[in-house]
A = this chain, B = another copy of it.
Protein backbone atom coordinates (compact mmCIF):
# COMPACT_ATOMS: atom_id res chain seq x y z
CA UNK A 1 0.00 0.00 0.00
CA UNK A 2 1.14 3.49 -0.80
CA UNK A 3 1.63 5.24 2.51
CA UNK A 4 2.11 8.71 1.06
CA UNK A 5 -1.12 8.52 -0.90
CA UNK A 6 -2.96 7.26 2.15
CA UNK A 7 -1.71 10.25 4.16
CA UNK A 8 -2.73 12.72 1.46
CA UNK A 9 -6.21 11.26 1.02
CA UNK A 10 -6.84 11.40 4.74
CA UNK A 11 -5.52 14.96 4.84
CA UNK A 12 -7.83 16.06 2.04
CA UNK A 13 -10.80 14.87 4.06
CA UNK A 14 -9.51 16.23 7.36
CA UNK A 15 -8.73 19.70 6.02
CA UNK A 16 -12.12 19.84 4.32
CA UNK A 17 -14.00 18.75 7.43
CA UNK A 18 -12.12 20.62 10.14
CA UNK A 19 -10.29 23.46 8.43
CA UNK A 20 -6.65 23.89 7.48
CA UNK A 21 -5.22 25.88 10.37
CA UNK A 22 -7.55 24.22 12.84
CA UNK A 23 -6.35 20.74 11.86
CA UNK A 24 -3.32 19.92 13.98
CA UNK A 25 -0.74 17.32 13.05
CA UNK A 26 -2.18 15.02 15.70
CA UNK A 27 -5.52 14.93 13.96
CA UNK A 28 -3.84 14.45 10.58
CA UNK A 29 -1.68 11.56 11.70
CA UNK A 30 -4.64 9.94 13.45
CA UNK A 31 -6.78 10.26 10.31
CA UNK A 32 -4.04 8.75 8.16
CA UNK A 33 -3.23 6.06 10.73
CA UNK A 34 0.47 6.75 10.57
CA UNK A 35 3.05 8.04 13.02
CA UNK A 36 4.09 11.67 12.84
CA UNK A 37 7.58 10.51 11.90
CA UNK A 38 6.22 8.77 8.82
CA UNK A 39 4.12 11.75 7.84
CA UNK A 40 7.12 14.07 7.98
CA UNK A 41 9.28 11.59 6.08
CA UNK A 42 6.80 11.58 3.22
CA UNK A 43 5.47 15.13 3.16
CA UNK A 44 8.12 17.31 4.76
CA UNK A 45 5.91 19.72 6.66
CA UNK A 46 2.35 20.89 7.12
CA UNK A 47 2.42 23.46 4.34
CA UNK A 48 3.50 20.85 1.82
CA UNK A 49 0.83 18.51 3.12
CA UNK A 50 -1.80 21.20 2.57
CA UNK A 51 -0.57 21.68 -0.98
CA UNK A 52 -0.55 17.93 -1.60
CA UNK A 53 -4.10 17.61 -0.28
CA UNK A 54 -5.24 20.40 -2.58
CA UNK A 55 -3.52 18.80 -5.54
CA UNK A 56 -5.24 15.52 -4.70
CA UNK A 57 -8.59 17.27 -4.51
CA UNK A 58 -8.00 19.02 -7.80
CA UNK A 59 -7.16 15.79 -9.61
CA UNK A 60 -10.08 13.94 -8.09
CA UNK A 61 -12.43 16.83 -8.85
CA UNK A 62 -11.51 17.27 -12.48
CA UNK A 63 -11.55 13.53 -13.03
CA UNK A 64 -15.17 13.59 -11.86
CA UNK A 65 -15.84 16.56 -14.15
CA UNK A 66 -14.37 15.11 -17.33
CA UNK A 67 -17.33 15.89 -19.59
CA UNK A 68 -18.34 17.04 -23.04
CA UNK A 69 -20.98 19.65 -22.33
CA UNK A 70 -21.95 22.33 -19.84
CA UNK A 71 -25.07 20.40 -18.96
CA UNK A 72 -23.04 17.30 -18.20
CA UNK A 73 -20.71 19.42 -16.10
CA UNK A 74 -23.51 20.29 -13.71
CA UNK A 75 -24.88 16.76 -13.84
CA UNK A 76 -21.50 15.47 -12.69
CA UNK A 77 -21.34 18.14 -10.02
CA UNK A 78 -24.69 16.89 -8.78
CA UNK A 79 -23.27 13.35 -8.63
CA UNK A 80 -20.30 14.67 -6.68
CA UNK A 81 -22.57 16.42 -4.21
CA UNK A 82 -24.41 13.20 -3.53
CA UNK A 83 -21.20 11.35 -2.79
CA UNK A 84 -19.47 14.06 -0.76
CA UNK A 85 -20.50 16.64 1.76
CA UNK A 86 -20.39 20.12 0.25
CA UNK A 87 -18.68 22.80 2.32
CA UNK A 88 -17.91 25.37 -0.36
CA UNK A 89 -14.88 25.60 -2.59
CA UNK A 90 -11.95 24.00 -0.74
CA UNK A 91 -9.46 26.17 -2.62
CA UNK A 92 -11.14 29.45 -1.76
CA UNK A 93 -11.34 28.27 1.82
CA UNK A 94 -7.68 27.24 1.88
CA UNK A 95 -6.69 30.71 0.79
CA UNK A 96 -8.88 32.42 3.35
CA UNK A 97 -8.00 30.04 6.15
CA UNK A 98 -4.27 30.62 5.74
CA UNK A 99 -4.64 34.32 5.00
CA UNK A 100 -2.95 33.71 1.64
CA UNK A 101 0.31 33.55 3.57
CA UNK A 102 1.41 30.07 2.45
CA UNK A 103 3.13 30.02 -0.94
CA UNK A 104 2.55 26.31 -1.52
CA UNK A 105 -1.19 26.81 -1.01
CA UNK A 106 -1.36 29.92 -3.17
CA UNK A 107 0.31 28.07 -6.01
CA UNK A 108 -2.08 25.14 -5.86
CA UNK A 109 -5.11 27.45 -5.76
CA UNK A 110 -3.83 29.29 -8.80
CA UNK A 111 -3.48 26.04 -10.75
CA UNK A 112 -6.98 24.96 -9.78
CA UNK A 113 -8.57 28.21 -10.87
CA UNK A 114 -6.75 28.21 -14.15
CA UNK A 115 -7.77 24.63 -14.85
CA UNK A 116 -11.41 25.31 -13.96
CA UNK A 117 -11.52 28.31 -16.26
CA UNK A 118 -10.02 26.32 -19.12
CA UNK A 119 -12.50 23.52 -18.64
CA UNK A 120 -15.46 25.87 -18.68
CA UNK A 121 -14.12 27.94 -21.53
CA UNK A 122 -13.64 24.87 -23.70
CA UNK A 123 -17.16 23.64 -23.06
CA UNK A 124 -18.64 27.06 -23.73
CA UNK A 125 -16.75 27.43 -26.99
CA UNK A 126 -17.88 23.99 -28.07
CA UNK A 127 -21.52 24.98 -27.60
CA UNK A 128 -21.62 28.64 -28.58
CA UNK A 129 -18.58 29.07 -30.82
CA UNK A 130 -17.50 31.89 -28.54
CA UNK A 131 -15.81 32.31 -25.18
CA UNK A 132 -18.14 35.14 -24.19
CA UNK A 133 -20.28 33.11 -21.82
CA UNK A 134 -17.33 31.69 -19.88
CA UNK A 135 -17.56 34.13 -16.97
CA UNK A 136 -21.31 33.61 -16.71
CA UNK A 137 -21.01 29.83 -16.51
CA UNK A 138 -18.06 30.12 -14.15
CA UNK A 139 -20.14 32.29 -11.84
CA UNK A 140 -22.97 29.76 -11.87
CA UNK A 141 -20.57 26.93 -11.20
CA UNK A 142 -18.97 28.71 -8.24
CA UNK A 143 -22.43 29.62 -7.00
CA UNK A 144 -23.61 26.03 -7.22
CA UNK A 145 -20.63 24.85 -5.18
CA UNK A 146 -21.18 27.51 -2.52
CA UNK A 147 -24.96 27.33 -2.31
CA UNK A 148 -24.98 23.54 -2.22
CA UNK A 149 -23.36 23.77 1.21
CA UNK A 150 -26.67 24.96 2.64
CA UNK A 151 -29.27 24.47 -0.12
CA UNK A 152 -28.13 20.97 -0.96
CA UNK A 153 -28.47 19.42 -4.38
CA UNK A 154 -31.34 21.75 -5.24
CA UNK A 155 -28.81 24.51 -5.75
CA UNK A 156 -26.95 22.43 -8.31
CA UNK A 157 -30.09 21.44 -10.18
CA UNK A 158 -31.10 25.08 -10.25
CA UNK A 159 -27.64 26.02 -11.53
CA UNK A 160 -27.89 23.38 -14.24
CA UNK A 161 -31.17 24.79 -15.50
CA UNK A 162 -29.86 28.34 -15.33
CA UNK A 163 -26.78 27.49 -17.34
CA UNK A 164 -28.93 25.98 -20.08
CA UNK A 165 -31.06 29.11 -20.25
CA UNK A 166 -28.03 31.37 -20.31
CA UNK A 167 -26.30 29.55 -23.14
CA UNK A 168 -29.44 29.98 -25.23
CA UNK A 169 -30.31 33.58 -24.41
CA UNK A 170 -27.09 35.36 -23.54
CA UNK A 171 -26.09 37.95 -26.19
Residue of chain B at shortest CB distance from A92: B88
Residue in B97, B151, B155 whose beta carbon sits within 8 Å of that of A96 in the complex: B97
Inter-subunit contact B143/A155 (CB<8 Å): no
Q: Which residues of A contact B (CB under 8 A)?
A: 16-23, 87-89, 92-93, 95-99, 101, 113, 135-136, 138-147, 149-151, 154-155, 158-159, 161-162, 165-166, 168-170
- A142 CB contacts on chain B under 8 angstroms: 142-143, 146-147
A96-B101 CB under 8 A given contacts A161-B136, A165-B170, A166-B165: no
Inter-subunit contact A113/B150 (CB<8 Å): yes
How many monomers of this protein are in the complex? 2
Residue in B22, B139, B143, B165 whose beta carbon sits within 8 Å of that of A97 in the complex: B22
Residue of chain B at shortest CB distance from A145: B146
Residue of chain B at shortest CB distance from A96: B93
- 11 CB contacts below 8 A, A to B, read A19-B97, A21-B22, A22-B97, A87-B95, A92-B146, A93-B97, A138-B147, A139-B155, A142-B142, A142-B147, A165-B165
User: Please, how many angstroms separate the alpha-carbon atoms of A21 and B98 in the complex?
Assistant: 9
Inter-subunit contact A165/B158 (CB<8 Å): no
Inter-subunit contact A98/B22 (CB<8 Å): yes
User: Please, how many angstroms separate the alpha-carbon atoms of A20 and B162 in the complex?
Assistant: 34
User: Please, how many angstroms separate the alpha-carbon atoms of A93 and B169 in the complex?
Assistant: 33
- A96 CB contacts on chain B under 8 angstroms: 16, 19, 87-88, 93, 97
- A87 CB contacts on chain B under 8 angstroms: 92, 95-96
Given A140-B140, A140-B143, output 7 extra A-B contacts at Cβ < 8 Å. Answer: A16-B96, A135-B151, A135-B158, A139-B140, A139-B147, A142-B143, A165-B169
